[in-house]
Chains A and B, each alone.
Chain A
Amino acid sequence: MTALELARFALYADLGLAFGVPAAAILTGARHGPPVLRPFLVGTAVLGLPLSMIGYLLLVAQMAGTGIGDLDWQLVRDLTINSAVGMAFAVRVVVLCVAVAIGLIARRGQVWWTACAGIALATLAWSGHAAAGEGALALPRLGADIAHLLASSIWLGALVWFLVQLWRRGGTSNDTKAALTRFAGVGSVLVMVLGATGLVNLWFVAPVGVWANLALTDYGKLLVLKLVLFAGMLALAALNRFVLVPMLNSSGSGEDARRGRLGLRLSIGLELCAACAILALVASLGLIDPGSA
């Protein structure tokens, strides 16, 4: 991995969690947000600031064809003011600062916090292929990419949010069981959004007729790997939904519930590993030219 890929991976993961964890908590019924997560969430927003700076400088250096040490600061300033990717960076820094302020001051600012983190995450759409659209299709293309980013982050956030609860001492609370059950519906919507927007994004990168050829390029191989991992996550999610969560909820002997809980820890842990691998692939995919073998 190059430094730029590493920075992109860190940004996707960090901002994905900053938005995804509270969004998943809200969607599965945690009304006023998880107080245990507040320091963690503020931490992701704080960390997002230096990560954004480093990522942006590495990106400008890549675009200028120089090392990060030889950066022309005039150029950095020009781009921040005059280019879409620079504006996206500036907006990200501002909303992250607002998110940190909300996290530190407001007691019940979870929805506002989540909105700020969501905007910060959405700005990442401008640093990849989706920003290349022109004319009437520029906005639908960015929109599809942003929807893809948000939906995948909610999934990622849900994995972390559930793992935290399943590892908490003192058994699984009824709230956790209710949240896991409620995620069945949320998860189905997320999968549909991810599938639809993923297809749209691929359409924009390569027309349907060349998809078979695309699979032979470096870009295509990584994409196929990503889809395989996605299919694995889907299988684990189905296992959770149809086997493990009902087991956890079973009112019979405590043994079933215990096994369901252990199974969920393992299964969601594996799902999280696959999600991390996908983020690493995305960090590279956004930098690869789909047009070259």
Chain B
Amino acid sequence: MHFFRALGLIALSAGLAVAAPVMAHTRVVASSPAAAATVSNVRSVTITFNEAFMPALSGLEIVMTGMPGMAGHHPAMKMAGVKVAPSADHKSLVATLARPLTAGTYDVNWHAVGNDTHRMTGKVSFTVRK
């Protein structure tokens, strides 16, 4: 019976998932600030993934890529004083900043490894206004 129940579950889930995109490997499903958003007073950055990751192999860094009035001339600068911790369910990376981000453009470069053992990387960009 277990076998048939499992088969039923599989068939059901496959049916439900017909319209969904290919789901495999760790992907970003949400972030705060959101990708491409313009925000102010950023004290923490959260990236949420579609699946649980292995904390020892996952993390992020925040890089300032531009400052107001210095378009194109600002070298990317990695922000110091960022503490990164996984959420309890291991689906979100939470970065806490020592002080709010100054105005400028930022990339959050993340890397995460899910239980399927594949290292995935990516970035989320946003802008901080005064």
Q: A residues engaging B (CB < 8 A)? A: 59, 62-65, 75, 78-79, 82-85, 127-134, 136-137, 140, 143, 200, 203, 205-210, 213-214, 287, 289-291
Contact = CB atoms under 8 A, between A and B. Distances in A.
B56 interface: yes
Contacts of A64: 57, 119
Interface in B1-57: 6, 9-10, 13-14, 17-25, 27, 51-52, 54, 56-57
Contacts of B18: 207-209
Given A64-B57, A140-B6, A140-B9, A210 B118 contact: no
- The B interface is mostly helix, strand or loop, or mixed, namely loop
Contacts of B25: 132, 289-291
B22 A291 contact: yes
B22 A206 contact: yes
B101 interface: no
A132 B54 contact: no
Given A140-B9, A289-B25, A132 B119 contact: no
A159 B27 CA distance: 41
B56 A140 contact: no
B65 to A, nearest CB: 21
A210 B14 contact: no
Contact of B14 (A128, A203, A290, A291): A203
Closest 4 CB pairs of A and B: A132-B116, A207-B17, A209-B18, A291-B22
B115 interface: yes
Contacts of A130: 116
Contact of A62 (B14, B22, B56, B119): B119
7 contacts: A83-B54, A137-B13, A205-B24, A207-B17, A207-B18, A207-B19, A291-B25
Most buried by A among B14, B22, B23, B113: B22
B111 A65 contact: yes
Nearest to A85: B117
A79 B116 contact: no
B86 interface: no
A214 B20 CA distance: 13
Interface string B97-115: 0000000000000010111
B9 A137 contact: yes
A162 to B, nearest CB: 31
Given A209-B18, A210-B21, A291-B21, A140 B115 contact: no
B52 A134 contact: yes
B21 A85 contact: no
Contact of A59 (B9, B27, B117): B117
A132 B114 contact: yes
Contacts of B14: 203, 207-208
Contacts of A140: 6, 9-10
B121 to A, nearest CB: 8
A289 B54 contact: no
A208 B11 CA distance: 11
Contacts of B115: 83-85, 131-134
